Amino acid sequence: MTGPTSPQEIAKYAAARQAATYVEGGMKVGLGTGSTAAWLVRRLGERVRDEGLQIVGVPTSSSTAALAREVGVPVATLDEARWLDLTIDGADECDAELNLIKGGGGALLQEKIVATASDRMIVIADATKRVEKLGAFPLPVEVVGFGMNTTKMLLEEMLEGLDVMGNKAVPRMKDGTLFRTDEGNHILDLHLGRIGNARQLALILNQVPGVVENGLFIDICDVIVIGHGDGTVETRDINSGETGRMVHEVATDNVFVDIAD
């Protein structure tokens, strides 16, 4: 596997490599979507090939499913797996309580369903994703196509009365047309600046007619694995309070080698 070549990719890869150590034989594992999750899937493919690791992956998007098959990770649907031991996924933002904004890749609905059908959720991210307050990253909201402009208007009006710094809802585009999720829906990106009460906002958003789901993941993440550009990895388990630190050094061929703390 070709290794990372930039500090940000090194951080993502280091976090993914560390998170892969949580995966044990016989597990059913939710596989996230995005560039950081892609490193995880590739790492799990290596373990399947080199160690004979026996797992079943449940992808959160068609792109993740294609990558898993490509690297040799067996896949199943959530209906087939029914319940998962673990989900590992990336995040667009993460605060100190491990509340998240997700959905930059457009897979928030499947990601949330899979994560909540798991005993544990581990989030992998580079250090830039850690924030004091959520909201600088536009909050994705998945909406149905019917009456989308009305849904947009209702959302913007509702946001005026909440503890946020902005209320603009922008339809997500791709290649000059409205972006479509794997479920055939659209995404409205909410430019909020700062979210004062993420828990309240998550509840209110889903009451707006036309909204399918929002990208606020509240009380879902159990463990955060943060990678840095020098190969350092920090871990934090919000349930046990345990924290950890591991250092990786980058070999000249861009393959990570574990070294002692």
Q: Which residues make up each annotated binding site for substrate?
A: 33-36, 89-92, 102-105, 129
CA distance 125 to 118: 19
Give the active site residue among 46, 70, 97, 111: 111
* Residue 246 in tokens: 């591991």
Sequence-separated (6 or more) residues with CB below 8 Å from residue 24: none
Q: Where are the beta strands (DSSP E) in the chain?
A: 28-31, 56-59, 86-89, 93-94, 100-101, 121-126, 139-143, 168-171, 173-174, 177-178, 186-191, 211-214, 216-217, 223-227, 232-237, 243-250, 256-259
Nearest CA to 58 among 103, 11, 98, 23? 23
* Catalytic site includes residue 111: yes
Residues carrying an active site annotation: 111
